[in-house]
Amino acid sequence: MAIRSQALSLSCHPLAVGLAMSPKQGCADVDGDGGRSGRVMAQFLESWLSIRRGDSVARLGIASVIMMSTMLSMFPSGASAATSLDKWSPPILIGSKGSSATQVDYSVSCPTSTFCVSVNGDGQVLYYRSGVWSSPQSLALGGSIDSVSCPNKSFCVAVASGKAAVYNGHVWSPAVSMGPTGDSYKVSCPTSTFCAAVGANGLPGKLSALVTFNGHSWTTYRTTTTGVLIDRLLSVSCSTPQFCMATNFDGQILAFNGKKWTPSHGSAPKWLISVSCTATSFCMAVTTTGDSTTFHSGSWSPPKLIPAFKSAYAYSVSCVSAMECSVIGLSGAATTWTSGRWSSPLTVFPGGPVAGVAISCSTGNNCVAVNDRGMSASR
């Protein structure tokens, strides 16, 4: 994947960044199983991206999750985990409960233990204040809202299909263009004057979007693609305006230093679905196949299986420090990594696999999770 940047009103200039894998190294040559896991993962990605684009194909996405869980159950289990430290509340309904054909994606961001903002695929925003969720409210972003990020209670950015809106603690700004339309976006804002976002969709050969925000305007970084479906930027996390990581489902990671995006040092696994970075230049990324990898001392560690999490389908990670991260999977199970050891997974959301789930932690003891059935739980 090569990258070049441009302001929205300026012409592009090339950046010499080569990230492309050979098109022959598609999803059929991974895992040593004749391409079976790669094909299932590619099918799931296509279904997932279709769901986030607003298509009514949730049944297909959930079926893919079940297929993947079945496949993963054949793999060897990891080492025993540490005693569980998770104490989650019972889940509550915060949105409109959807059937398997109408489930909508939820995103959540919690800058403090008493305040969170959640957005969903129905174009709604919800506020969590001191343990209580507000009723869903419409937010004019042109339909399904993909992601939200809040560095504090007075600033949030929500993104959807190439549009963004800013929250000032009281009201949302009108939507503005921030990138290519038709993509599903993830956004990360470490401050009120900087955000980064990535976008992707399910069209093979379609370029991923890579954009940054300086508090006033958005700048795009155009990427090239190998043409395979899994060559997609699906997650981004910034701890400061000078430190971001963006992960690619094809096993590539980009690092941002405040001026440009470059390939991050170290090898990365395929199926990277979520990344979270802290203020100490530490990151953790997780794969849908249950592996985690950490960034510290300037490079990424080899991937390691999250113990007892191989069939939980890891989907979202949130780190509060270089010593603690929490992960939740599409199965509804969550686990916490503390000083290098994982807790025993607990079921936060019972009821079987879903097509989307998210977690946001403000401190080690305070996290909020949401899923695409409109349920929320906290600890």
Q: What pLDDT, in 10s, does the model give residues 51-72? A: 444 443 433 343 344 334 434 4
- Is the separation of the CB atoms in 245 and 317 below 8 Å? no
pLDDT of residue 171: 97
Rounded Cα distance between 132 and 139, Å, is 20
Alpha-carbon gap, residue 98 to 100, rounded angstroms: 6
Question: What is the average per-residue pLDDT within 84-98?
Answer: 79
In the 8-state DSSP scheme, what is residue 11? -
CB atoms within 10 A of CB 309: 27
Query: What digits encode the pLDDT tens for the residues 115-145?
Result: 999 999 999 999 999 999 999 999 989 889 9
Q: What is the mean pLDDT of the chain?
A: 80
Q: Residue 40 phi/psi, 5° resolution?
A: -65, -45
Taking residues 163-182, report their average pLDDT: 94
Q: Tens of pLDDT along 180-231?
A: 888 899 999 999 999 999 999 878 888 899 999 999 999 999 787 777 888 8
Q: What mean pLDDT comes out for the span 289-295?
A: 95
Least confident span in 153-157, 158-162, 202-206: 202-206
Asked if pLDDT for residue 347 goes beyond 70, the answer is yes
Residues near 209 by beta carbon (within 8 Å), at least 6 away in sequence = 162, 179, 180, 183, 185, 197, 198, 199, 200, 220, 223, 233
**Domain residue ranges of the chain, discontinuous segments joined by +:** 27-378
Most confident of 9-18, 150-159, 291-300: 150-159
- pLDDT confidence of residue 297: 85
C-alpha angle 173/276/106, rounded to 5°?
A: 50
Q: Write the CA distances from 120 to 202, 268, 277, integer angstroms.
A: 19, 30, 23
What's the pLDDT score for residue 365?
A: 87
The string of DSSP letters for 242-276 reads: TEEEEEETTTEEEEE-SS-EEEPSS---S-EEEEE
Q: Between these two residues, 14 and 207, which has the higher pLDDT value?
A: 207
Mean pLDDT of 100-117: 86
Judge whether residue 24 has pLDDT over 60: no
Closest of 227, 311, 327 to residue 275, by C-alpha:
327
Which amino acid is residue 370, in one-letter code? V
Share above pLDDT 90 across residues of the chain, in percent, rounded to a whole number: 60
Q: How far is 307 from 353, CA to CA, in rounded Å?
A: 19
CATH code at 27-378:
2.130.10.10
> What pLDDT does residue 204 have?
80
Residue of 156, 163, 153 lying closest to 185 (CA atoms): 163
pLDDT, position 315: 97
Which of 17-21, 86-90, 266-270, 307-311 is predicted with the least confidence, judged by mean pLDDT?
Answer: 17-21
Q: For 295-309, what is the mean pLDDT?
A: 92
Instruction: For 224-263, write each residue's pLDDT tens digit.
Output: 777 788 889 999 999 999 999 999 999 999 999 999 999 8
C-alpha 190, offset from chain centre: 15
The string over 117-129, giving b where at least 16 C-beta atoms fall within 10 Å of a residue's C-beta and e elsewhere, is bbbbbbbbbbbbe
In angstroms, rounded to a whole number, what is the distance separating the alpha carbons of residues 292 and 312?
Answer: 13
- Report which of residues 304 and 31 the model is more confident about: 304
pTM of the model: 0.82
Give residue 76's pLDDT band: very low, low, confident or very high (50, 70, 90).
very low
Q: How many residues does the chain have?
A: 379
DSSP state of 29: G
